[in-house]
Amino acid sequence: MSGSGTAGGGLRPGRRLRGAVPLGRRGFLRGAGLAGTAAALAACGVPGIKVTEYTPVADVSDTDKTLNWSNWPFYIDVAEEDSDEPTTLQRFTEKTGIEVAYTEDVNDNDEYFAKIQPQLTGGQAIGADLFVVTDWMVGKLIRLGFLTEFDHANIPNLANLRPELRDVSFDPGRKYSITWQSGLAGIAVNPAAAGGREITSMDQLLTDPALRGKVTLLTEMRDTVGLTMMDLGYSIEDFTFEQFDKAIAKLQDAVDSGQIRRFTGNDYGSDLAQGNVAACVGWTGDVVSLQADSPELGFVVPEAGCTIWSDNFVAPIRSPRKKNAEALVNHYFDPEIATQSEDWINYITPVTGVAEAMADYDPELLEDPLVFPDEQTLSKAQVFMGLTEEEENRCNRAFAKLTGA
């Protein structure tokens, strides 16, 4: 994918896409209760209470062959009626004897934190032995003392982690987290609804009168504000609050003028496909799935660049089955397993060797620049700067005021 081009493409033979308009990796908050919880957290900046000490528990993995894994919706391969191929989870159980209780209950980073925070603050176990959250939430959980370290000796396949992901600012040395999937945020476009115009910048989304009322932005602060800051010429990897506030002001002008239809989770998909939305801030994996039934839809990396994020495996304190969790992480870093998983998930894999394996498994998927972006695209991607809890609360309050949360 070129730095400012669009990517298209429809359903490929043999490819296992999830359906017409899935909720995807960042499923939007379901119901007013969850939405209210997340909005309150964002607006008030509810802090966690750091765990100062807790009593470790014995690991029972050698005798208890079970594992509880919490993940985002539609973020793993599933069984097909017309195929005898076992799923990656079934293959894990066949290989290790460990039965996995897989739960899709991570609908939003803040909402999931609110769910598990009371137990973690008390130094107690939660239902999950392993769960998946985004970079910035990992940093918060580490600061609060809510995570336990992985034993890399139990994860030999971690050698297959892509080099650029091995040492990250929020978790130096990857002691507490290991990447599950990565993705890009940029501009999703319905060419017909956009009148065939080429869209290459956030400024167009926020100011072009022809798009008025047909633009949506994400409720994910780091993506919406991040892309706007980049469009203003700022680096989101090292910025000042003055620069952040200028981006908020530009977004506020767009809201006040009626340019913005609404702020969304990834429920922008239906409106985009139906043409109610001409262009929006969106995620690569969502667009790949939408293209199954709407191949005309495109994804644009803005000229100023795009944001990149990762979701990560983490193990909470007092999990009695951490060794089982490490076995599962090791399983998914086997390139063969990661390839089968990637054929369903369609985000950016953290595992080296998948591209080579995909050449035999589903070679046409290699042609999709949203799943296998080129170096030019990745060179334009930036990670949102790590924030202290005080800084995060400040940014969240400003963004919540903007979105009306």
pLDDT at 35: 34
CATH at residue 280? 3.40.190.10
pLDDT at 51: 58
Structure confidence by residue, pLDDT tens digits, 242-262: 999 999 999 999 999 999 999
Q: Where are the alpha helices (DSSP H) in 275-353?
A: 284-290, 322-332, 335-345
Domain containing residue 221: 184-308+385-403
**By three-state DSSP, how is residue 335 classified?**
helix
Structure tokens at 188: 């999703």
Distance CA(352)–CA(7), nearest Å, equals 23
Q: Are residues 261 and 391 in the same domain?
A: yes
Structure confidence by residue, pLDDT tens digits, 39-77: 333 333 445 566 556 677 899 999 999 999 999 988 999
Cβ burial, residue 356 (10 Å; 0-12/13-18/19+): exposed
Q: Are residues 297 and 257 in the same domain?
A: yes
- 363-376 burial, b if ≥16 CB within 10 A, otherwise e? eebeebbbbbbeee
pLDDT at 16: 35
Q: Are residues 166 and 231 in the same domain?
A: no
**pTM exceeding 0.75:** yes
Q: Are residues 92 and 227 in the same domain?
A: no
**Residue 130: inside a domain:** yes
**Residue 93: inside a domain:** yes
Cβ contact 312:41 at 8 Å: no
pLDDT at 48: 56
Q: Are residues 170 and 210 in the same domain?
A: no
Query: Residue type at 19?
Result: G
pLDDT at 50: 64
Q: Are residues 142 and 96 in the same domain?
A: yes
Structure tokens at 190: 């319905």
Q: Are residues 92 and 123 in the same domain?
A: yes
Q: Which residues of the chain have pLDDT under 70?
A: 1-54
CA distances from 307 to 44, 103, 185, 271 (A): 25, 28, 5, 23
Closest CA to 133 of 158, 157, 102, 110: 110
**By three-state DSSP, how is residue 291 classified?**
coil
**By three-state DSSP, how is residue 281 classified?**
strand
Q: Are residues 84 and 191 in the same domain?
A: no
Domain count, the chain: 2
pLDDT at 53: 62
